[in-house]
């Protein structure tokens, strides 16, 4: 299969590979996919006081397009609010990376990863508020 | 791009196809340019020359497997041979019964031909091999029914290279008067085949897996006791009526020469390839969390199939583009399913997705092996740094116990 130059670039030089401490209250972690299906993405976002995503990191088990999709997403996320992050659609990943039809599921997985990371962060905030209320 | 990436990778996909041996190509050329006669033309020397070349090639094919040349019929390749054997014999002997036995790890050309017989009203049993890829002879015998007409088992598996005990399976078939077909496409030139001794009725061969050209193969059809098949291709009555169609003289000449070389050089060649296989095996198994797929002893030296856990096969193939290999990962196939062969061995989907098949041969050099080992070591390390599964494994998480969102 021939890959687009952009996929190759992200695959050869993946951006923002790594992990944050997932217990950190300012970090949201999304883990999507399954090893049996051949792809698992872990996406993490770190959000500042102002509610803006300061940093993002990923690790992905999967094909070249899955790695490229998650690498691209970490770049797209920085500087966005959580609402803006959730508005990212898989189609913009497909377009940016020129993914062929058989690889569209990689972009869907990346979109799911964003949603899962944001949801995790929001859960943490809720828990924190709840704990505070319980304390008082 | 650098020169290195533009150069063709080192070929390690001999099980997909082999390069044509230059000696074979040289023999073929005059039959395209000068001796272009139709071997079926009986009225002039153009035909006679072509016929002589075809019969000489038939002799060479027969000699490699110790058969009578009259037992060899030309086809377009092993896929056609498998179809002709399975459909042709089951149909001819259908009065005996309509049950066919085969194996879950067969080549698609066998599985789909057997499936086609199902559509025509036959019942089938696909035996699951043991985790090492080999067939338990007891399970095979248990699958035999009074109405079993044919069994089809491959000699050497194309993905994992394991060698089945054809002699024992054949004897079990003989005892029950079942026609026994063997797909030997991956076996010629790699394992000794003696059809005087082996209780096999039909055997499929391919030229291009044994340094011959693509587009030609043969089917062995036993004469004593005589096995009959119904033709699948009708026409001029070539090949004793079993397979009509003008013979492709140059292809056939190529196959004959390829099989002659295989017969004469097999022993020394296999000793050399065995050394390379062991070198590759010891180098690659230095990498943590690697699993060899299929029995390592009862296997041709040409094949090594390894799963590199926590690394997905397709991304690995992208990373090791200096060598040409294939993977059981779904992403490299059109079906999006990981290798059915590895799954039939009971390998987890993860390990099937993480598998690489290295297949080496006549022109593989020791330096190629060393290059492959270094390349794999480096790239597996890089991809594992990227892998969340590797991170979890390092943290002691049991991946079996994680609840994954299957998609």
A26-79 confidence digits (pLDDT tens): 999 999 999 888 899 999 999 999 999 999 999 999 999 999 999 999 999 999
pLDDT of residue B336: 59
A84-98 confidence digits (pLDDT tens): 999 999 999 999 999
- Residue ranges of alpha helices (H) inside B185-285 are 249-284
Short-list B29, B22, B18, CA closest to B249: B29
pLDDT of residue A97: 94
Q: Which of B324, B348, B405 to mutate to test the interface with A (most CBs of A within 10 A)?
A: B405
Which pLDDT band, with edges at 50, 70 and 90, does A113 fall under?
very high
Task: Tell me what ipTM this predicted complex has.
Answer: 0.91
B279-308 confidence digits (pLDDT tens): 999 999 999 999 999 999 999 999 999 999
Question: ∠ at Cα B76 (B330, B254), nearest 5°?
Answer: 105
pLDDT of residue A127: 83
CA distance linking residue A133 with residue A135, whole number of Å: 5
CA distance linking residue B222 with residue B241, whole number of Å: 15
CA distance linking residue B224 with residue B172, whole number of Å: 18
Whether A57 and A19 have beta carbons less than 8 Å apart is answered as: yes
Q: B266: burial class by Cβ within 10 Å (0-12, 13-18, 19+)?
A: middle
Entry field: residues in chain A: 136
Q: Which residue did the predictor score with more confidence, B29 or A101?
A: B29
Query: In what helix (H) or strand (E) does residue A3 lie, and over which residues does it extend?
Result: none
pLDDT of residue A125: 85
Short-list B74, B300, B67, B90, CA closest to B181: B90
pLDDT of residue A37: 84
Task: State CA B313 to chain mean position distance.
Answer: 21
Please compute, for residue A35, the number of CA atoms within 13 A of its CA located in the half-sphere on the CB side. 22
Looking at residues A125-130, what average pLDDT do you find?
A: 82
Q: Classify B18 as helix, strand or coil.
A: coil
Task: State CA B389 to chain mean position distance.
Answer: 33
pLDDT of residue B6: 60
Residue B341 in this model has a pLDDT that exceeds 50: yes
Residue A132 in this model has a pLDDT that exceeds 90: no
The secondary structure of B98-118 as a DSSP string is: SEEEEETTS-HHHHHHHHHHH
CA distance linking residue B126 with residue B248, whole number of Å: 35
Short-list A33, A64, A105, CA closest to B392: A33
Q: Is A100 on the interface with B (CB under 8 A)?
A: no
CA distance linking residue B65 with residue B198, whole number of Å: 10
Q: Is B318 on the interface with A (CB under 8 A)?
A: yes
Whether B101 and B125 have beta carbons less than 8 Å apart is answered as: yes
pLDDT of residue B38: 97
B161-176 confidence digits (pLDDT tens): 999 999 999 999 999 9
Query: B404 to chain A: which residues are within 8 Å by CB?
Result: 33-36, 40
Looking at residues B19-32, what average pLDDT do you find?
A: 98
Residue B146 in this model has a pLDDT that exceeds 70: yes
pLDDT of residue A136: 55
pLDDT of residue B1: 41
Residue B338 in this model has a pLDDT that exceeds 90: no
Please compute, for residue B160, the number of CA atoms within 13 A of its CA located in the half-sphere on the CB side. 33
pLDDT of residue B82: 98
Whether B399 and B347 have beta carbons less than 8 Å apart is answered as: no
Residue B405 in this model has a pLDDT that exceeds 80: no
Q: Is B385 on the interface with A (CB under 8 A)?
A: yes
Which pLDDT band, with edges at 50, 70 and 90, does A110 fall under?
very high
For B376, the token pair is 């794999």
What is the set of active-site residues of A? 37, 106
For B221, the token pair is 């059809």
Query: B388 to chain A: which residues are within 8 Å by CB?
Result: 31, 40-42, 59-61
Beta carbons of A32 and B336 less than 8 Å apart: no
Looking at residues B325-349, what average pLDDT do you find?
A: 79
CA distance linking residue B199 with residue B179, whole number of Å: 10
CA distance linking residue B147 with residue B106, whole number of Å: 22
pLDDT of residue B3: 45
Short-list B53, B41, B40, CA closest to B243: B40
Spell out where B155-242 has E strands: 179-183, 202-206, 217-221
Query: In what helix (H) or strand (E) does residue B382 lie, and over which residues does it extend?
Result: helix B366-386
Residue B97 in this model has a pLDDT that exceeds 70: yes
pLDDT of residue B331: 58
């Amino acid at each position: 299969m021939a890959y687009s130059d952009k996929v190759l670039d992200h695959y050869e030089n993946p951006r923002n590979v790594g992990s944050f401490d997932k217990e950190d209250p300012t970090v949201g972690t999304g883990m999507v996919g399954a090893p049996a299906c051949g792809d698992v993405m872990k996406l993490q976002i770190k959000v500042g006081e102002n509610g803006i995503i300061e940093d993002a990191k990923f690790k992905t088990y999967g094909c070249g397009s899955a790695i490229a999709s998650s690498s691209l997403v970490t770049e797209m996320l920085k500087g966005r609010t959580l609402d803006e992050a959730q508005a990212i659609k898989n189609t913009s990943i497909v377009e940016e990376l020129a993914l062929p039809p058989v690889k569209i599921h990689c972009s869907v997985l990346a979109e799911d990863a964003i949603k899962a990371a944001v949801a995790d962060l929001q859960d943490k905030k809720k828990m924190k508020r709840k704990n505070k209320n319980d304390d008082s | 791009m650098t020169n290195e990436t533009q150069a063709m990778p080192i070929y390690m996909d001999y099980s997909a196809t082999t390069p044509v041996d230059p000696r074979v190509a040289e023999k073929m050329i005059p039959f395209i340019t000068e001796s272009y006669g139709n071997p079926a033309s009986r009225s002039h020397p153009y035909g006679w020359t072509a016929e002589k070349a075809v019969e000489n090639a038939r002799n060479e094919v027969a000699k490699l497997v110790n058969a009578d040349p009259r037992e060899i019929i030309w086809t377009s390749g092993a896929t056609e041979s498998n179809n002709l054997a399975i459909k042709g014999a089951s149909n001819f002997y259908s009065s005996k019964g309509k049950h066919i036995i085969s194996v879950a790890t067969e080549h698609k050309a066998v599985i789909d031909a057997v499936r086609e017989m199902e559509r025509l009203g036959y019942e089938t049993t696909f035996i699951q091999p043991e985790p090492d890829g080999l067939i338990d002879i007891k399970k095979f015998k248990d699958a035999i029914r009074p109405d079993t007409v044919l069994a089809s088992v491959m000699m050497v598996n194309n993905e994992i290279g394991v060698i089945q005990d054809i002699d024992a399976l054949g004897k079990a078939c003989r005892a029950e008067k079942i026609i026994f077909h063997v797909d030997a496409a991956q076996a010629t030139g790699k394992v000794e085949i003696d059809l005087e001794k082996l209780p096999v009725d039909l055997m499929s061969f391919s030229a291009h897996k044994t340094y011959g050209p693509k587009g030609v193969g043969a089917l062995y059809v036993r004469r004593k006791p005589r096995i009959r098949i119904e033709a699948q291709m009708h026409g001029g009555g070539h090949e004793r009526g079993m397979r009509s169609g003008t013979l492709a003289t140059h292809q056939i000449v190529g196959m004959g020469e390829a099989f002659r070389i295989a017969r004469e050089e097999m022993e020394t060649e296999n000793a050399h390839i065995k050394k390379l296989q062991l070198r590759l095996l010891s180098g690659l198994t230095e990498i943590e969390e690697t699993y060899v797929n299929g029995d390592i002893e009862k296997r041709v030296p040409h094949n090594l199939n390894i799963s590199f856990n926590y690394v997905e096969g397709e991304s690995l193939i992208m990373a090791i583009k200096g060598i040409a290999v294939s993977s059981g990962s779904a992403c490299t196939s059109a079906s999006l399913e990981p290798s059915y062969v590895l799954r039939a061995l009971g390998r987890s989907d993860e390990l099937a997705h993480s598998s690489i098949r290295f297949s080496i041969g006549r022109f593989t050099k020791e330096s190629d092996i060393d290059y492959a080992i270094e390349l794999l070591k480096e790239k597996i390390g890089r991809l594992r740094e990227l892998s969340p599964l590797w991170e979890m494994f390092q943290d002691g998480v049991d991946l079996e116990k994680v609840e994954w969102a299957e998609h």
